[in-house]
């Protein structure tokens, strides 16, 4: 099984945006200009967009904490900070705000992890992986939304382009308060590296039938340690199950 066929599955579906990144930016700006509680018509007027476009993106915006509310929705504190950065086109602040949003969302974190484990992915492959992992059926709106997520990861600085493919930017990921996974492929015949000190841990899942093992380096703070073991067990279980399934 090729390493780029590993998939990080989520326990439940994730609501992707249903528009391009540029349209998403217009909607976030619209909410930022519409006060604490606004209906679709008010946001549509502020964003100069049709209400249906805004409506189909609300689930994503709520899931990542940019907006909140019921029928009338308002922008959150983190959403307002992002909206303001987008309004004034302040690149560093835009990146920082998206990075904070990714850091607080498990699904988006896993998409960065997927890129890291594979040692890089093609843009189109990551887009397909995002749609598949979200449990969405393939459609034009879904793929546009998956493309928007790819762009969000790029803008955040957690994923960047190098040599024609996307790689995880580990220097930026180290600042994210979550487990950072760095995956590499090594030949079975090579000796295993020595145990790491208290700064990290090394886990190697059972070798696959093709003699490939996955080396995962964990970078975390002391505050992350109590919840680290369950996350690692779940990740390794998913990888083993997919390895068995794809080997049948």
What would the pLDDT profile of 32-68 be if each residue is shown by its tens digit? 999 888 999 999 999 999 999 999 999 999 999 999 9
Q: Which residues of 74-89 are buried (b: 16+ CB within 10 A; e: fewer)?
A: bbbeebbbbbbbbeee
Higher pLDDT, 212 or 126: 126
pLDDT of the residue at 20: 97
pLDDT of the residue at 177: 45
- Identify the top-confidence range among 111-115, 181-185, 218-222: 111-115
pLDDT of the residue at 153: 98
Rg (CA), the chain: 19
Looking at 41-55, 123-137, 144-158, 226-240, which range is the least confident one?
A: 226-240
Q: Which residues of 127-146 are buried (b: 16+ CB within 10 A; e: fewer)?
A: bebbbebbebeeeeebbbbb
Q: Would you give the DSSP letter of residue 134?
A: T
Domain architecture of the chain: domains with CATH:
1-175 (1.10.10.10), 180-247 (no CATH)
Q: Is the pTM of this model over 0.75?
A: no
If pLDDT is split at 50, 70 and 90, which confidence band does 196 have? very low
Using one digit for the tens of pLDDT, what is the confidence trace for 232-247?
667 777 767 665 655 5
pLDDT at residue 10 above 50? no
As a whole-number percent, the residues of the chain with pLDDT over 90 amount to: 60
Using one digit for the tens of pLDDT, what is the confidence trace for 82-112?
999 999 999 999 999 999 999 999 999 999 9
CA angle, 59 as apex, 57 and 62 as ends, to 5°? 110
Q: Would you give the DSSP letter of residue 187?
A: E
- DSSP letters, 44-96, are HHHHTS-HHHHHTTHHHHHHTTSEEESSSEEE-HHHHHHHHHHHTT-HHHHHH
If pLDDT is split at 50, 70 and 90, which confidence band does 216 have? low
pLDDT at residue 4 above 50? no
Looking at 37-41, 127-131, 197-201, 214-218, which range is the least confident one?
A: 197-201
């Amino acid at each position: 099984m090729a390493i780029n066929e590993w998939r990080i599955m989520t326990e439940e579906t994730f609501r992707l945006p249903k528009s391009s990144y540029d349209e998403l930016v217009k909607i976030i700006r619209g909410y930022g200009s519409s006060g604490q509680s606004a209906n679709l018509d008010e946001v549509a007027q502020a964003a100069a967009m049709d209400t249906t476009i805004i409506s189909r993106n609300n689930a994503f915006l709520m899931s990542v904490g940019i907006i909140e509310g019921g029928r009338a929705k308002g922008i959150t504190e983190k959403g307002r900070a992002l909206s303001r950065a987008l309004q004034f086109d302040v690149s560093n602040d835009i990146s920082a705000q998206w990075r904070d949003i990714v850091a607080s969302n498990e699904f988006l974190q896993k998409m960065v992890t997927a890129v890291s484990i594979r040692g890089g992915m093609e843009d189109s492959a990551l887009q397909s992986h995002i749609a598949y992992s979200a449990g969405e059926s393939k459609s034009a709106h879904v793929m546009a939304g998956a493309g928007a997520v790819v762009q969000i990861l790029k803008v955040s600085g957690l994923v960047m382009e190098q040599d024609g493919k996307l790689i995880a930017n580990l220097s930026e990921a180290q600042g994210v308060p979550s487990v950072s996974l760095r995956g590499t492929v090594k030949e079975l015949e090579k000796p295993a590296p020595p145990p790491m000190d208290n700064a990290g841990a090394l886990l190697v899942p059972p070798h696959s039938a093709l003699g490939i093992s996955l080396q995962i380096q964990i970078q975390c703070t002391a505050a992350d340690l109590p919840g680290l073991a369950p996350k690692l067990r779940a990740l390794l279980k998913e990888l083993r199950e997919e390895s068995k399934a794809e080997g049948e």
